[in-house]
Structures are given as structure tokens and as C-alpha cells.
Amino acid sequence: MTESQNDNWIKEQGWVIKAVEEKVRTETFKERLEYSLCRYRHIWEKMASK
């Protein structure tokens, strides 16, 4: 592999890593969001039932 081919390969791998990190981040974000909504709904129902 030449120097520039090597650089391109590293850049491509970096893109893959970024995509994976992004996917993980959005999935944990979605989970947190759902968790927050569930808790909020639970609190809301408790208040409404009073």
C-alpha cells in the first residue's frame, strides 16, 4: 500500500467507526427518551388519579 492509499484506508475506517458510534448514541438516546416518557406518564397518571 502506498502512503496515500493508506491514508484513504484510515479515513474510510474512521467513517465506519463514526457511523457505529452515531448509531450507538442514537439508540441509547432513544432508550433514554422512552424511559423518560414512561416515567413521565406514570407520574402524570398518579397525579390524575388523585
Domain boundaries, the chain: 1-50
Q: Assess whether pLDDT exceeds 80 at residue 50.
A: no
How distant, in Å, are the alpha carbons of 12, 13, 18, 48 from that of 25? 20, 18, 10, 34
pLDDT (0 to 100) of residue 41? 92
pLDDT (0 to 100) of residue 6? 83
For residue range 1-48, list pLDDT tens digits in order: 688 888 888 788 888 888 889 988 899 999 999 999 999 999 989 989
pLDDT (0 to 100) of residue 34? 93
